[in-house]
Amino acid sequence: MVSDYIRGGIIVVSSKNELIIKDIKKGINSGKYLPGQKIPSENELAEKFGASRQTVRKAISKLTEEGLLYARHGSGTFVAERIHKRSGTKNIAVVTTYMSDYIFPRVIQGINQVLNDNGYSILLKTTNNSRKGEAWCMEELLSKNIDGMIIEPSQSAISCQHQVLYDQMDAMGIPYVFIQGCYEAMMDRPHVMLDDVEGGRLITEHLIQLGHKRVAGIFKADDTQGILRHKGYVKALQESGIAYDPDMVIWYHTKDKGQKPLEGLLRIFENGRSCHAVVCYNDEIAADVIKGLSVAGRSVPHDISVTGFDNSLLAQSRGITTVAHPQEELGKKAAETLLGLIDGTLSRKDAQVLLMPELVERTSTL
């Protein structure tokens, strides 16, 4: 018999043998089963999955071959100590939230260029900005022989529920570098990011210098970048002596990015509040807002100025004033940082990089 489970939105048909393997691996990687701890007996696993003893033995045998379990005669099966052996496979895992035509291809291009020049190959995984997806990718990658990992964290502003996986990587001596964002509890870990606070300050300051005093902000609540760009927005207002108005700020989560940003902005107008300009979390949101404002009969930039963030191809093609994201440079710097950790020329303390943003003025502001 087989069972179905969902991976990245796709229904995957899996045999009971595979499901048992997946369940035990998940238990090990989540910290449910610790090194030296006994796992459920063959009878318990057979009952849980409605499988035969033979199927359970096959699954345990596979995990034993992978070095995750070991048998103790007369006592049962136990979790093995996970010791990473540096075999110089020249494989680097890269985990990103998306692999669309937004900024990600150029980030990956920068990573690949440096790794390729140094004889490394990429194992690429995407999470669809799902924390469960990130945990699943890491669980799979920890069972492979890799020399290091570059990770864009999913919904990085929300507390990480799988930090045990990162702790395991530390224990196994597998170096890793966060890109784009970083979980608050792990800001001491290696990372390469754009200075999002300065980016948010720059773009807001630009609007204020154009004479706009009532500046709305649209920010993503579940990613570090959104929190930091909002911080920069607040900083620019304070530096200009403009009082912060929480009613002028729209927060949204990944799941509602298609509706809430524009709806929130239109609600500001419906409530009779004056709004001269809007700072958007990124270029995608800015493009959607410009389109929605046009449908609502408002002209950009004559009625309201709109800014984005990232200087993506979308911003370039639609004339959106934005903040330049050093996409390829960020990828290169992340790869160089990881290689420095691998060869020992960089310490974790020195592997924390902030890249400076730049303002790109186009026709969406006036």
Q: What percent of the chain has pLDDT over 70?
A: 94
344, part of any domain: yes
Let me know whether 309 and 331 are in one domain. Answer: no
Let me know whether 106 and 14 are in one domain. Answer: no
Let me know whether 247 and 339 are in one domain. Answer: no
Query: How far is residue 303's CA from residue 294's CA, in Å, rounded to a whole number?
Result: 10
How much is the pLDDT for 84? 53
How much is the pLDDT for 14? 57
Is this structure's pTM higher than 0.85? no
Let me know whether 333 and 189 are in one domain. Answer: yes
363, part of any domain: no
How much is the pLDDT for 236? 98
pLDDT-derived band at 66 (thresholds 50, 70, 90) equals confident
pLDDT-derived band at 4 (thresholds 50, 70, 90) equals very low
User: Among residues 192, 183, 175, 185, which one has the least CA distance to residue 352?
Assistant: 192
Let me know whether 202 and 319 are in one domain. Answer: yes
Last residue of a domain, one of 57, 79, 101: 79
Mean pLDDT of 286-301: 97
- Provide the residue range defining the domain that includes 158: 91-195+327-357
User: Among residues 154, 177, 179, which one has the least CA distance to residue 97?
Assistant: 154
CA distances from 264 to 106, 227, 232, 259 (A): 31, 18, 20, 9
Let me know whether 74 and 47 are in one domain. Answer: yes
- 233: CATH: 3.40.50.2300
pLDDT-derived band at 7 (thresholds 50, 70, 90) equals very low
Q: Hey, CA dihedral for 140, 143, 144, 149, is it positive or negative?
A: positive
Identify whether the C-beta of residue 232 lies closer than 8 Å to the C-beta of residue 264: no
Let me know whether 238 and 134 are in one domain. Answer: no
Residue 307: helix, strand or coil by DSSP?
strand
Residue range 307-317, pLDDT digits in tens: 999 999 999 99
Above 60 in pLDDT, residue 126?
Answer: yes
Let me know whether 262 and 347 are in one domain. Answer: no
Let me know whether 208 and 313 are in one domain. Answer: yes
Average pLDDT, the chain: 91
Query: How far is residue 176's CA from residue 147's CA, in Å, rounded to a whole number?
Result: 9
Let me know whether 275 and 181 are in one domain. Answer: no
- Total domain count for the chain? 3
Identify whether the C-beta of residue 330 lies closer than 8 Å to the C-beta of residue 310: no
Question: Which stretch of 1-15, 31-45, 150-164 has the lowest confidence by average pLDDT?
Answer: 1-15
What is the rounded end-to-end Cα distance, in angstroms, of the chain? 65
Let me know whether 309 and 205 are in one domain. Answer: yes
37, part of any domain: yes
85, part of any domain: no
Residue 310: helix, strand or coil by DSSP?
strand
